Amino acid sequence: MTGLTLTNLKKTFEKGTPNQKLALDRLSLAVEKGDFITVLGSNGAGKSTLFNAILGKFRLDQGKIVLEGEDITHLKDYQRALNIGCLYQDPMRGTAPNMTIEENLALAYTRKASKSFFALNRRDSAYFRELLSGLNLGLEDRMKTKMGLLSGGQRQAASLLMATIAQPKLLLLDEHTAALDPATAAQVLDLTRRLVAEMHLTCLMITHNMQSALQMGNRTIVMDRGRIALDIAGEARAQLTVGDLMRQFQATSGRALDDDRILLSPEKAD
Amino acid sequence: MNGLTLILSALSQGMIYVPMALGVFIAFRVLNMPDLTIDGSFVVGMCVCAVVTIAGSPLLGLVCGMLAGALAGLCTGLLQTKLRINPILSGILTMTGLYTINFMILGGQSNLYLQRTELNAAGAQTQVASDTLYKSFRTLLVSLTGNRRLDANLSAMILSGLIALLLLAILAVFFYTRTGMAIRATGDNEEMVRSSSINADRTRVTGIMISNALVAASGALLCQQQRYADLNFGSGMLVVGLASVIIGQVFFGKRSVTLGLISAAFGSLFYRVILQLAYKIDMPSYAVKLLSAVIVVIALTLPLIRRTIKERRAEREEAV
């Protein structure tokens, strides 16, 4: 079954000015339900723009977005958020710092929670406690703690719970571990892998780490100038090394996959 | 004026301004937004209440005054969210426009006394004072206690106190409902609210409406207590409200919404006590606004001063 279908997405920013930029160039992509796609690309290739288009942060010049059979092209951002979870690089973006962990989760859960007068109730709290204890960060005993007091990694883990708490039809991860230290990043990536697998989520993940782009998920796309330059899955992907990927990119796009932030395999690619 | 009457008079005034302090708290602390509508919505509450009270229903006057305040808030909210006008400017625009509206509500004059003209038995025109909530409440208390010499200030304070307490209790509960929590989150991280599939524009507008309805409630109560409405009464109300919120914060800190609401209410009372003390040392009444502004400036700079002192001390210790 098709999870997400993008057809001919086109977006030009600052049209008619010297800064005019074609950010999405008739981009099309079909994502199967349950696909976990990693997204690579140089700076300005259009990765985040693609996510923002799916999230409804701006109006497209043309194109159509269909999520599990529903045309969401003309829905407002908060309406789309009913079925789309999203996580950014900055752990501060996904949570409300002056509200407690419990309140943050309750707010995110509003999408799917059964009606109740008070936002917090015993049944939901028990559920949140169970979810939090799954993180193994001890947060289940700190549910009344304000979110702002947590470390970046803890906040990002909590944000990940919030993004997935309502069983979204699509999860978008925009370099959600880039701001974390390596050990914490690895932990959050593990958690991501586990949640996506357990909930059978359809997921797109932008990353600058080519190694984890090839290791995680079942499909990798490389973007270039608002289009998809490479789309690799299955057997071909299983055999692929980071070196192969860079050569293939050079062959199709005629230039190197370069980016001051792209990480070549931190450990030796095997 | 002895100490007790001084305190009583201060509390009696302070209670009237508690709803306004709660409204300012919601705008500045919960929604995290400077809302300048407040000066205008205080007066619109006052004017609408005056007209309805003169027409014969003081209770309806309070309710209509609050609704008018909520409408003023709706206007500011829509300017901000639908037309994307800067929040401060949205408030200023509504406040400025309200001046004309208030003038029209008062029937083209700048003040209005709560009285109506009646013909007496001899057929001559006389001015009859309108009933107010305070008058009815005092009559009620007198009939209950049998004390005919009940202090009007005392009964006024009890009534304003009861209304303030009721509003405070409703708000304290409201901010833990789903809508209330979404309003709090909107002030804390609007993007997170939108990503939770909640229409943040709507929660923001709702918050601004509630805030301005509370401010208007204070205007309406003051109108009934002093028995007149005045177009120019609102100027500087925002600073008065902010002073209350900040003074309250000095005593209670900022931990939860409920505590925040309570501290704003107490701040309003403390503020009036400070003013009464200032009057006692012969401060002229026109100095009130300057004093309020100075209090707010001092309270706002305290954290900076504290930090500077700490840094200087640390520096000195390093040097030794």
Cβ <8 Å between A93 and B180:
no
Cβ <8 Å between B181 and A119:
yes
Which of A150-154, B251-255, B291-295 has the least mean pLDDT?
Answer: B251-255
CB atoms within 10 A of CB B293: 15
CB contact A114 to B (< 8 Å): no
Cβ <8 Å between A94 and B195:
yes
Q: Report the percentage of chain B scoring pLDDT > 70.
A: 99
- A92 contacts on B by Cβ (under 8 Å): 189
Residue range B127-182, pLDDT digits in tens: 888 889 999 999 999 999 888 888 888 899 999 999 999 999 999 999 999 999 99
**Given CA atoms B256, B258, B262, B267 in this order, what sign does their dihedral have?**
positive
pLDDT at A260: 54
Task: Average the pLDDT over B217-235 and give the result.
Answer: 93
pLDDT at A269: 36
CB contact A149 to B (< 8 Å): no
Cβ <8 Å between A107 and B180:
no
CB A202 within 8 A of CB A3: yes
Q: Which residues, including other chains, have CB under 8 Å from residue A20's CB and lie 6 or more apart?
A: A12, A13, A14
CB contact B189 to A (< 8 Å): yes
Q: Is B207 exposed, middle or buried (0-12, 13-18, 19+ CB in 10 A)?
A: buried
**How far, in Å, CA of A243 to CA of A210, rounded?**
10
CB A91 within 8 A of CB A179: yes
CB contact B255 to A (< 8 Å): no
CB contact A254 to B (< 8 Å): no
CA distance A236 to chain B (A): 36
| pLDDT surpasses 90 at A51 | yes
CA distance B72 to chain A (A): 26
Q: Mutation target for B interface from A83, A107, A167, A170: give the one with most B CBs within 10 A.
A: A107
- B194 contacts on A by Cβ (under 8 Å): 77-78, 81
Q: Mutation target for B interface from A51, A110, A115, A124: give the one with most B CBs within 10 A.
A: A110
pLDDT at A268: 38
CB contact B198 to A (< 8 Å): yes
Residue range A168-194, pLDDT digits in tens: 999 999 999 998 988 889 999 999 999
**How far, in Å, CA of B37 to CA of B39, rounded?**
6
Q: Which of residues 203-242 of A touch B (CB under 8 A)?
A: none
| pLDDT surpasses 90 at B87 | yes
CB contact B251 to A (< 8 Å): no
- Dihedral-angle region of residue A225 (phi above 0 means left; psi in -120 to 50 means alpha; beta otherwise): left
Provide DSSP, chain B. Answer: --HHHHHHHHHHHHHHHHHHHHHHHIIIIIS----TTHHHHHHHHHHHHHHHHHHT-HHHHHHHHHHHHHHHHHHHHHHHHTS---HHHHHHHHHHHHHHHHHHHTTSSSEEESEEEEE-TTS-EEEEEPP-HHHHHHHHHHHHH--TT--HHHHHHHHHHHHHHHHHHHHHHHTTBHHHHHHHHHHH-HHHHHHTT--HHHHHHHHHHHHHHHHHHHHHHHHHHHTEEEGGGGTTHHHHHHHHHHHHHHHH-S--HHHHHHHHHHHHHHHHHHHHHHHHTT--GGGHHHHHHHHHHHHHHHHHHHHHHHHHHHHHHHH-
Token output for A265: 């395999």
Which domains can be identified in chain A, with CATH numbers? 2-96+153-253 (3.40.50.300)
CB A177 within 8 A of CB A61: no
Q: Kindly indicate the confidence band of residue A164, based on its pLDDT and cuts at 50, 70 and 90.
A: very high
- A99 contacts on B by Cβ (under 8 Å): 181, 184-185, 188
CB contact B256 to A (< 8 Å): no
CA distance A39 to chain B (A): 21
pLDDT at A9: 95
CB B251 within 8 A of CB B270: yes
**How far, in Å, CA of B224 to CA of A170, rounded?**
57
* ipTM metric: 0.88
CA distance A103 to chain B (A): 8
Residue of A nearest to B180 (CA): A119
| Cα dihedral B287, B290, B296, B299 in deg (nearest 10) | -70
CB contact B182 to A (< 8 Å): yes
The side-by-side arrangement of strands in the sheet containing A62-67 is A21-32, A2-13, A62-67, A70-71
- B181 contacts on A by Cβ (under 8 Å): 99, 103, 106-107, 119
Residue range A104-127, pLDDT digits in tens: 999 999 988 778 888 888 888 999
User: Nearest by CB to B188, which of A82, A97, A108?
Assistant: A97
- B185 contacts on A by Cβ (under 8 Å): 96, 99, 103-104, 107
- B200 contacts on A by Cβ (under 8 Å): 78
- B196 contacts on A by Cβ (under 8 Å): 81, 107-108, 110-111, 162
CB contact A243 to B (< 8 Å): no
Q: Mutation target for B interface from A51, A52, A75, A99: give the one with most B CBs within 10 A.
A: A99
**How far, in Å, CA of B205 to CA of A228, rounded?**
41
Share the mean pLDDT of chain B: 91
Tell me the residue type at B193: V
Q: Report the percentage of chain B scoring pLDDT > 90.
A: 63
Task: Average the pLDDT over B97-120 and give the result.
Answer: 91
Q: Which of residues 159-178 of A touch B (CB under 8 A)?
A: 162-163, 166
This prediction has a pTM of: 0.90
| pLDDT surpasses 60 at A263 | no
User: Nearest by CB to B185, which of A76, A99, A117?
Assistant: A99
CB contact A79 to B (< 8 Å): yes
CB contact A81 to B (< 8 Å): yes
* Domain range annotation of chain B: 3-112+127-232
Provide DSSP, B202-234. Answer: HHHHHHHHHHHHHHHHHHHHHHHHHTEEEGGGG
Cβ <8 Å between B176 and A81:
no
Q: Is B226 exposed, middle or buried (0-12, 13-18, 19+ CB in 10 A)?
A: middle
Residue range B29-68, pLDDT digits in tens: 999 998 999 999 999 999 999 999 999 899 999 999 999 9
pLDDT at A270: 36
